[in-house]
Amino acid sequence: MNSKSISGNGVKGRLTLTLKSRETLAAYAFLAPFMVFFSIFVVRAVVEAVRMSFYDWHILRPMRPYIGIDNYVELINDKVWWISLQNTVVFTALTVVGTTIVALAAAVAVTRPIKGQSFFRVLLYMPSLLSVGAVGLIWVWLLNTQFGIINYGLSFLGIRPVNWLGDPGLVIPSLSLTTIWWGFGFPMLIFIAGLQGIPEQLYEAARIDGGSNRDLFLYITLPLLRPTILFVTVTGVISHFQVYGQPFIMTTGGPGRSSYSLIFYLYQIAWTAFRMGYGAAVAVCIAVIMAVMTSVQFIVLSRRIEY
């Protein structure tokens, strides 16, 4: 190899290295605004909340004294915390399962070649555009014991009026039903995208082999939708575990504390009792529980999406 070829390769290598460096710098430049925002408004807030949880701080006085883990010890012995945690877990489980089933069923229905397909997609998605305040008021009227439409319809079946929001055993399922109706639109769009990504050739081959629609759904659609189901359930758990607006508007935490959620309880502690240190301890525990639940979902479900 002569000196010219060696020199040419060296120049080419330097040019390639320079190009990669420029691309790397450009990538970091585009990421920098987000990283600054994330560091100031998220990371700093989390660190400050953890620090705050070790103080007996009321909002109207300086952050003192330092009390160590006393807030967490009090939280473990707090009956209202455990009631709120139980209510939130039940609500999240009912809502995530119900939303996933309804969203998947709606997505399968509107991906079929039917007339007015786009209209039905928009119609099913429309409740997701409403605010939590509007949804809460609508469903308070629908579930009203005396003049609610749902009880009026049940009367034709000979069923006496049901106190949906006043019965401790029915209030969480009622809030879950409201949230499913309100929130299944976005997961439906995710499922539609997942269904459209499944090759049609797989269905054609299965039909040639004599597969029924049930077989196609169980052995082709569901297995290939597992990554989508994982995404929908994980985001659903994160979202619904932070429920606040529905119990605040529809029940104000009642009857008794039957519809207290963790975030509702956090609001009562921090902005009604002004116990910011104890409220910070509650927030930290909520964040840890959500992180554990999300990790478990990934561990359990991600193994099953290897196909």
Provide, rounded to the nearest whole percent, the portion of the chain with pLDDT above 90.
60
Q: Is 112 within the bounds of a domain?
A: yes
306 pLDDT above the threshold of 50: no
Q: Is 287 within the bounds of a domain?
A: yes
Q: Is 206 within the bounds of a domain?
A: yes
Task: Write the pLDDT tens digit of every residue in 221-234.
Answer: 998 998 899 999 99
SS3 content of the chain, % helix, strand, coil (to 5): 75, 0, 25
Mean pLDDT of 89-107: 96
Whole-model pTM over 0.85? yes
Cβ neighbours for 304, distance < 8 A, ≥ 6 positions apart: 226
Q: Is 201 within the bounds of a domain?
A: yes
Task: Write the pLDDT tens digit of every residue in 131-184.
Answer: 999 999 999 999 999 889 999 999 999 999 999 999 999 999 999 999 999 999
Nearest to 135 by CA among 143, 124, 127: 127
CA 95 from centroid of its chain's CA atoms: 10
Which residues form the domain of 142? 70-305
How many secondary structure helices (H) and strands (E) does the chain include?
A: 16, 0
Task: Write the pLDDT tens digit of every residue in 259-302.
Answer: 999 999 999 999 888 999 999 999 999 999 999 998 888 887 76
Q: Is 100 within the bounds of a domain?
A: yes
Packing angle, helices 79-110 and 117-125, rounded to 10: 170
Mean pLDDT of 242-262: 94
Q: 64: left (phi > 0), else alpha (psi -120 to 50), else beta?
A: beta
End-to-end CA distance of the chain: 49
In total, how many domains does the chain have?
A: 1
8-state DSSP, 83: H
Cβ neighbours for 265, distance < 8 A, ≥ 6 positions apart: 80, 81, 84, 282
Domain containing residue 185: CATH number: 1.10.3720.10
Q: How far is CA 293 from CA 117, 226, 304, in A?
A: 37, 18, 17
pLDDT at 307: 41
8-state DSSP, 131: -
Cβ neighbours for 67, distance < 8 A, ≥ 6 positions apart: 54, 55, 56, 277
Reduced to 3 states (helix: H, G, I; strand: E, B; else coil), residue 275 is strand
Q: Is 32 within the bounds of a domain?
A: no
CA Rg value for the chain: 26
CA 304 from centroid of its chain's CA atoms: 21
Q: For residues 20 and 256, which has the higher predicted lDDT (pLDDT)?
A: 256
